[in-house]
Amino acid sequence: MTGPRFSLLEVLLAIVILSLLIGGAMAFTSQASADVIRSRRDWEATHALSLATEYFLLAPPRASVPHDLLPEGYSAECRVEQATSDLPEFAQAGQAGWTLARYVIDVHDGAGATIGHREVIKVVREDDL
């Protein structure tokens, strides 16, 4: 008994179809991998900004970030300034030693590029400004 016989054309056609399917699967996998890497980078930047914001809001004004708070390669800085713009006149003056301050928080990656920025208004002692 002899099995089915295929012509050279049928074999070549099967190889071409199989190659196209493998190539499409590899392209799809490559794109999915790039999406995962991009999502991870975005999550790390958002997480670092959240950590830095929480730290600066809980720490005394002008505190520096501990070296082990942020992921390696990331750094953060915070500027504290009086928040008087865009406020009604009665809110611009301090009350009983307290005033509104604007915390301007920036997070940088290892290359020094700003990857996150947040501004928060917080009540602080006037002495801290």
- pLDDT score for 107: 93
Residue numbers of the chain with a pLDDT score lower than 50: none
Q: Which helix (H) or strand (E) holds 45?
A: helix 8-58
Chain segment 39-55, per-residue pLDDT in tens: 998 998 899 999 999 99
- pLDDT score for 71: 85
As a whole number of angstroms, the distance between CA 29 and CA 23 comes to: 10
Query: How open is the CA angle 86-91-93, to the nearest 5 degrees?
Result: 110
CB atoms within 10 A of CB 99: 20
Q: How many CA atoms lie within 13 A of 36 on its CB side?
A: 6
- pLDDT score for 104: 92
